[in-house]
Amino acid sequence: MDWFAIEITVLTEAAEAVEFALNELDALGTEINNLGRLPTATLTVAGYFNDPPDDDALAATLAGALEIYGFSGDAVTRVERRAVANQDWLAEWKKHWKPTETDRFVIAPTWETVADTGRIVIRIEPSMAFGTGTHETTRLCLRAVERLYRPEMSFLDVGTGTGILAIAAAKIKAKGRSPESEVLSPESDAKENTEDSRLKTQDSRLKPRPSITGCDTDADSIAIAKENADTNDTPEIELFVGSIDARTAVFDFVCANLTADVILPILPLLVEKSKRFLVLSGILREQETWVTDALRGLGIADCAIAADGEWISVTIEKL
């Protein structure tokens, strides 16, 4: 069986918008090919499909994505369709996606061998869902999770994609201690009183188990997230098709890695349903004031901004 590739040549700075559009069209995989030109020139973004979208759907989705990212249709210089042998594109995609490291995590595809660096390993099979750990917005959220999340906290990932952020929280929870305490020396751990350890274990069993939940409006993403949760031995993660609404419970830690235009309409709910921390990403640098102004309108003036490339995250801590 042949697959089909849609190759789109675009201005370098608009490549992520095209990749976003291809994922919205349910591409089975995407890759960005560097044509060896100057950084201000062009790149070719390829999306792979077993049932490619028609021209009208492609044009509409591409135009919408470019608008979200602040580009016009002139950013695209070429669109081409071609058939690709199944083994060819899959092998190429796997060859180009390598493990990504943060301070506490290494995110790796299921087929890749990972060296033991002491980091927590998260295995991801992305398929059609967003969130392989390579995108700046995912990295920004992961950094916030590894820095701020504690095992005793409940956690909600809005727009979970592959489930990577919920899995990260579950992995920290499984460690049973905060990221800072994980760097204690083995000698320090060995000195812990055995009787105290037994009492702590018994006490923890009496406490309600913290909830780790992920939601996404895309059913395919939830199916992929469930597979990834099983792969990472984190079956306790609750996943459902849908989004945050008035019925949603309050969570200690809420992540929403979406886009600014999706975040803004639900921002009051995100603020209401987060008890300790709210992390927002999928926001371009030039969209920062959109979000911070909206937060001020909700009575929140203090927030922390982190940046990675042209993307930012906004973190709100409630004291």
For the chain, give every domain's residue range.
2-95, 123-183+196-317
Do 2-95 and 123-183+196-317 agree at the fold level? no
Q: What is the pLDDT of residue 121?
A: 93
pLDDT in tens, 182-201: 433 333 333 333 334 333 33
Asked whether the whole model's pTM tops 0.75, one would answer no
Helical axes 219-231 vs 164-175, angle rounded to 10°: 30
Contact 3, 48 (CB under 8 A): yes
Superfamily of domain 123-183+196-317: Vaccinia Virus protein VP39 (3.40.50.150)
- The three-state secondary structure class of 43 is strand
Q: What is the pLDDT of residue 111?
A: 81
Q: What is the pLDDT of residue 208?
A: 45
Cβ neighbours of residue 238 under 8 Å, at least 6 residues apart?
211, 212, 213, 214
Of the candidates 44, 248, 118, the residue with the CA atom closest to the CA atom of residue 238: 248
Q: What is the pLDDT of residue 206?
A: 37
For residues 201 and 128, what is the distance between their CA atoms, to the nearest angstrom? 40
Cβ neighbours of residue 11 under 8 Å, at least 6 residues apart?
41, 42, 71, 75, 77
DSSP 68: H
Q: What is the pLDDT of residue 193?
A: 38
Pick the CATH number of 2-95 from 3.30.70.260, 3.40.50.880, 3.30.2310.20, 3.75.10.10: 3.30.70.260
Q: Both tokens of residue 16?
A: 């992520």
Q: What is the pLDDT of residue 228?
A: 94
Residues of the chain with pLDDT under 50: 35-40, 128-129, 177-209
Cβ neighbours of residue 189 under 8 Å, at least 6 residues apart?
none
Cβ neighbours of residue 137 under 8 Å, at least 6 residues apart?
257, 281, 282, 283, 308, 311, 313
Q: What is the pLDDT of residue 89?
A: 56
